[in-house]
Amino acid sequence: MGQQSSGDPLSTISGGSRVAFFGGTFDPPHLGHLGVARAARAALGLGTVLFAPVGTQPLKPQGPTACFEDRLAMTRLAIADEPGFALSLADAPKSTGAPNYTLETLIALRAQLPPESVLFCLMGADSFAAFRRWHRAAEIPFVAPLIVGSRPGEPLDILDSALPRGVTLEFAPQTESVASEVELRRYILRNPAGRQSPFYLLPGLQIDISASQIRDQIHNQTQPSTAAQTLQPALLPPPVLEYIRAHNLYR
């Protein structure tokens, strides 16, 4: 069963563990998020995936629709039965109201993890598309290698267009093997100073779910029962949908 405490899941991580930070608004957390995390866990042998709802997303100045407490509660419900998935407060709102920057969060996490552990930064293709605009984006892959989940048939040139200026990408031979049915492609990122970092692409994910479309669909439903029939099987974990209905979110 997944770690359900909203406390510090890092205390249970041992040396040598492979950990992925998975940040986002999770507004709401949906089956697409779970699919990306499951694929990464299988393909890279991850011991822990840290689901970290963000307090203030710098690229979304209008803010999330649901408050942080609701998004935290929904994320806890979404991952409750998933081995190796843990809820993290690493990106919780800051007391100063300052934006949450992924680079700062990763540096703080890296300092808290055992030295022998490996930290990755996991994201979906939609988040990676805006990666060039992230705060000090060129530094992020060299703190935590990127894992990007992508849909079948997406052109690889989107990788180059999303990378920060000066960071280059080249295909790398497969040098590590994990027993998995999930396709994994490995690349190398290099910056102008000559530093390099692995970059992992999961290119075959049959996932096309948008949180904004889910919110719109719920908002436009006039009968809660209709929303349940439409959303529950395909888009949201059932406990998350029940939470949304019980707290009248997105109406």
pLDDT at 231: 53
- Of the listed ranges 144-158, 159-173, 200-214, the one predicted with least confidence: 144-158
pLDDT tens, 12-63?
787 779 999 999 999 999 999 999 999 999 999 999 999 999 998 888 767 6
CA distance 2 to 244: 21
> β-pairing, 196-202 with 185-190?
antiparallel
146 closest CA partner among 123, 163, 162: 123
162 closest CA partner among 201, 120, 192: 201
Name the residue ranges covered by the structural domains of the chain. Answer: 9-209
pLDDT band at 177 (very low <50, low <70, confident <90, very high): low
- Give the three-state DSSP class for 2: coil
Measured distance between the N- and C-terminal CA atoms of the chain, rounded to whole angstroms: 32
Listed in sequence order, the DSSP H helices in 14-153 are 31-44, 68-79, 102-112, 125-128
Average pLDDT, whole number, for the chain?
A: 87
pLDDT band at 108 (very low <50, low <70, confident <90, very high): very high
Main-chain dihedrals φ then ψ at residue 188, nearest 5 degrees: -120, 130
- Compute the average pLDDT of residues 62-83: 92
- Give the three-state DSSP class for 40: helix
pLDDT at 224: 52
SS3 content of the chain, % helix, strand, coil (to 5): 35, 20, 45
Candidates 3.50.30.10, 3.40.50.20, 3.40.50.620, 2.60.40.3880; CATH matching 9-209: 3.40.50.620
- Of the listed ranges 81-95, 176-190, 204-218, 227-241, the one predicted with least confidence: 227-241
